[in-house]
Amino acid sequence: MLALLKMFIKEYIKDVWGAISSLLKGMKLTGYYFMHHNKEAITEQYPDNRKTLKMADRFRGEVVMPHDENNEHACTGCTACELACPNGTIKIITKMEPTPEGKKKKAIDTFVYRLELCTMCNLCIEACPTDAIKMDQTFEHSVFDRRLLTKKLNKPESKVREGIE
């Protein structure tokens, strides 16, 4: 009987000791991070760090159409991106343009891009045969007026670069 009681007390003390030590172990780790918070902190001070903040090159922010210094782009208005888009984000309005030979040729009039519908899935960029559009790394898209989210990607008076079919 006494032996049993002794064993019980022994087990009990062992349990209590194990419990306290397991708690202390965790507290030690928390204490370590409390003392070394400068080394381990990964918090970024956004928006104060806007100037130094750099997104990854492939980050998908919004679709843009790069123009060169002659105000020329590479979009032929083939509507491949419009067909590839799952959400109806892109609408391409085409026009007929006379060529120097006197024939008429299909060309792009307006590239309408609706940012509010876009899910940044990159399928339009994959579909583009002439690499006319690309993903930009901007991410601050909030505006006060919803209409501002409907964008016209080709700049006014811009035209297709020579030699792109």
Q: Would you tell me which residues interact with other proteins (CB under 8 A)?
A: 18-19, 22-23, 25-26, 29-30, 40, 42, 55-60, 84-88, 119-123, 126, 135
Closest to other proteins by CB, 32 vs 68, is 32
> Vertex 127, ends 124 and 131: CA angle to 5°?
90
Say if residues 141 and 115 touch (Cβ distance below 8 Å).
Answer: yes
Closest to other proteins by CB, 18 vs 98, is 18
User: What is the nearest approach in angstroms of other proteins to the Cβ of residue 162?
Assistant: 26
Say if residues 46 and 140 touch (Cβ distance below 8 Å).
Answer: no
User: What is the nearest approach in angstroms of other proteins to the Cβ of residue 132?
Assistant: 17
Closest to other proteins by CB, 26 vs 66, is 26
Distance CA 152, CA 61 (A): 16
Distance CA 111, CA 72 (A): 14
DSSP conformational letter for 113? E
User: What is the nearest approach in angstroms of other proteins to the Cβ of residue 56?
Assistant: 4
